[in-house]
Amino acid sequence: MSQDGAATISRRRFLQAGATAALGAHLPGPWVGRAAAQAEGPLRLGFQVHRTGIGAVYGRWYERATTAAVKLINEKGGIGGRPVEIVAEDDGTDPKRGAEVVEKLAVQHKVDFIFGTLFSHVVIASAPRAGELKIPYIVVSEGYHVASGRLNRYVFQPGITDVRAQVTAVAPWILKNLGKKVTLIFPDYAFGHDHRDFFSRVATAQGGTIRALLPIPPTETSFTKYFPRVPADTEVLYHVMVGPGVLTFVKEMGEHFGARRPQIFGFIDSLEGVDLASAGLEFLEGTYFWEAFPRYAAATMPQHVRFYRERVGVNANGASVNDPRDVSTFSHMFGCWETLFVIKRAVEQSGYKKPGAAAYRAFIETLEGFQSFPEGTEHPQGPKRFVGRLHQVFGQQVVSKVEKRRLTVIHRTAIEDSMYAPEADYTKQPL
């Protein structure tokens, strides 16, 4: 960080000069005193949140992580001396409503930035509107859609890693430690297809064999009938599921295989928001999960992780401190927290004051110029590398094992393990 610290300062000066020239007006820099800044009023962040629809469990925790981060930011003097105000709008996890919410936040509420979307169909339907309205749209979605280059220059994902990176990082570990013959079970829609495509690609390149691909239709509520299709010589069962049916899915998998199970490796998405101690999940003992951020508190946790858990309000089991049955989406919601601190950094370094073409250009170019975020209170999940041309952040991934109905971390990948050859370059697009 020390190296690009100097670089960003000169960049900031440069950008400010540019912004001032472009507007033909005097713009105060970020060093202007707080009194003057407060006259500008709060920095308003539009939060596109899944309060209802199938994404609601995630949305609820995204909102809690966001509230906690904003509270912390405001306690410490806000962003650029201005307090932060969240303007939340529910998108119903629906793409049409999502695009409308982007419009509403940008045009009616006149927010400074929009952030927080998770489900990829909402992101994809909303992104064109954000691009047309020329407002930075900072998603916390996990999808490969940002880094694929399919969206536009206004869309960023600086707070959470994408599925392709996650899969790339853990595939070698799976092949080396669990087995080479893998069967994949995944939801038959975009999120599942990312797993299907990227895991298959990485695994076969490294000497693994894909024994079978089992897509589950999105409307399915009963899963038992799919398990016979898992070939008998499967060494590793790779599962990922999402939506209200996840617990049923995992339970029925256990009922089917019992003690005769192959090695099982799941993405924690299959059990986000679900208590591992739920009845019927006993069979998960000794299976493995990918996590982004360990849900269960460990004896030796860094101080900033402890602090993050406390501020968001989760107990040692990753559930709400107010209701132990209310289990968090721990491996995703940190993305909102970290995103807010990235926004803070980009606003302060770019000298952003209020919406406008020049101000947004400065903000976007500053964000694209970021290269890394150090681990700490602002980035509790771990250190990050940011690739400006992809608008995507990269980080460490975690493999955990189920022991005594809790997840214990047994392996942590390096950031480099998740990096893949970039396919896109947003910085070449006009603003």
Query: Quick one: 94 or 291, whose CB is closer to other proteins?
Result: 94
Residue 244 engages other proteins in binding (rule: CB under 8 A): yes
Query: Quick one: 52 or 74, whose CB is closer to other proteins?
Result: 52
Q: Is 61 in contact with 328 (CB distance < 8 Å)? A: yes
* Subset of 252-271 contacting other proteins (CB under 8 A): 252, 255-258, 260
On the CB side of 293, CA atoms within 13 Å amount to: 29
Residue 374 engages other proteins in binding (rule: CB under 8 A): no
Residue type, 93: T
Q: How far is the CB of 169 from other proteins (least distance, A)?
A: 23
Task: Output the DSSP codes for 314-354.
Answer: B-TTSBBSS-TT-B--HHHHHHHHHHHHHHHHHHHHHT--S
* Subset of 270-299 contacting other proteins (CB under 8 A): 273-274, 278-280
* Subset of 37-96 contacting other proteins (CB under 8 A): 51-54, 56-57, 59-60, 89-90, 92, 94-96
Residue 145 engages other proteins in binding (rule: CB under 8 A): yes
Beta bridge partners of 90: 49
Query: Quick one: 128 or 172, whose CB is closer to other proteins?
Result: 128
| 411 CA to centre of own chain | 20
* Subset of 314-353 contacting other proteins (CB under 8 A): 325
Q: Is 355 helix (H, G, I), strand (E, B) or coil?
A: coil
Closest CA to 73 of 89, 62, 86, 61: 86
Q: How far is the CB of 189 from other proteins (least distance, A)?
A: 4
Q: Which of 111, 151, 167, 362 binds other proteins (CB under 8 A)?
A: 151
Q: Which stretch binds other proteins (CB under 8 A): 13-21, 31-39, 215-223, 304-312?
A: 215-223
Q: Is 398 in contact with 409 (CB distance < 8 Å)? A: yes
Phi, psi of 403 (to 5 degrees): -135, 125
Q: Which of 152, 320, 329, 396 binds other proteins (CB under 8 A)?
A: 152
Residue 2 engages other proteins in binding (rule: CB under 8 A): no
Q: How far is the CB of 12 from other proteins (least distance, A)?
A: 30
Q: How far is the CB of 173 from other proteins (least distance, A)?
A: 28
Task: Output the DSSP codes for 142-198.
Answer: --TTTTTT-S-TTEEB-SS--HHHHHHHHHHHHHHHT-SEEEEEEESSHHHHHHHHH
State the binding string over 96-135 for other proteins (x if CB under 8 A, else -). x--xx--xx--xx-----------xx--xx-xxx-xx---
Closest CA to 309 of 325, 324, 293: 293
Q: How far is the CB of 55 from other proteins (least distance, A)?
A: 9
Query: Quick one: 194 or 291, whose CB is closer to other proteins?
Result: 194
Q: Does the CA dihedral 82-85-91-97 come out positive or negative?
A: negative
Q: How far is the CB of 49 from other proteins (least distance, A)?
A: 10
Q: What angle do CA 64, 70, 75 make, to 5 degrees?
A: 130
Query: Quick one: 144 or 308, whose CB is closer to other proteins?
Result: 144
Q: Is 332 in contact with 142 (CB distance < 8 Å)? A: yes
Q: How far is the CB of 193 from other proteins (least distance, A)?
A: 7
* Subset of 185-204 contacting other proteins (CB under 8 A): 188-191, 193
Q: Which of 42, 209, 227, 419 binds other proteins (CB under 8 A)?
A: 227
Task: Output the DSSP codes for 213-270.
Answer: EEEE-TT----GGGGGGS-TT-SEEEE---STTHHHHHHHHHHHHGGG--EEEEEGGG
Q: Does the CA dihedral 234-240-241-247 come out positive or negative?
A: positive
Query: Quick one: 84 or 246, whose CB is closer to other proteins?
Result: 246
Q: How far is the CB of 19 from other proteins (least distance, A)?
A: 23
Query: Quick one: 55 or 351, whose CB is closer to other proteins?
Result: 55
Q: Which of 206, 221, 303, 408 binds other proteins (CB under 8 A)?
A: 221
